[in-house]
Amino acid sequence: MSLIVVSDADLSQATFAREWVGGDVPACVIFVDASPGERVHLHRHPYAELFFVLEGTATFEDGERTIEVSAPAFVVVPAGQPHCFSNRADVQLRQIDVHLNGTFDTEWLED
C-alpha cells in the first residue's frame, strides 16, 4: 500500500464535522468544527478513539463525570467506554477525532 492523501474535497459532510472512512486502513478520521452549543450524544465503540482538541474547549462526559479539555490537548477513550462531547464555550471548537477502526461502529446510548 502506498501513501494516501486525503483533501477536504474527499471528506463527507456530517452536521458540524467532515469524515473520512479508512476501509482497509484501520482508522477513520473526523474533522470537527463545532459552534457553541453543538453536541454529540452519549455513545460507545468497540475500539479506542482519540480526540485531539486543536482550538477552543471541549466538554467530555462518560456517564459518570464531566471533564473540560482546552486546546492543545488530547483525550483517549478506551474501547467500550461510553462518551459524548459538546462545545459549552462561547468560541468555536475545532478538534480531530480518530477512530481506531476502518469503519465507524457506533452504539448510540441516548437520542
Per-residue pLDDT of the chain (111 residues; tens, 9 = 90+): 689 999 999 999 888 999 999 999 999 999 999 999 999 999 999 999 999 999 999 999 998 999 999 999 999 999 999 999 999 999 999 999 999 999 999 999 997
Rounded to a whole number of angstroms, the CA Rg of the chain reads 14
This prediction's pTM: 0.93
DSSP reduced 3-state for 10? helix
Q: With CA atoms as reference, report the closest residue to 51 among 36, 35, 71.
A: 71
**105, 30 in Cβ contact below 8 A?**
no
Q: With CA atoms as reference, report the closest residue to 45 among 82, 18, 20, 14.
A: 82
By CB atoms closer than 10 A (0-12, 13-18, 19+), residue 92 is middle
Instruction: List, edge to edge, every strand of the sheet that includes 93-99.
Output: 12-14, 17-21, 28-34, 93-99, 49-55, 73-77
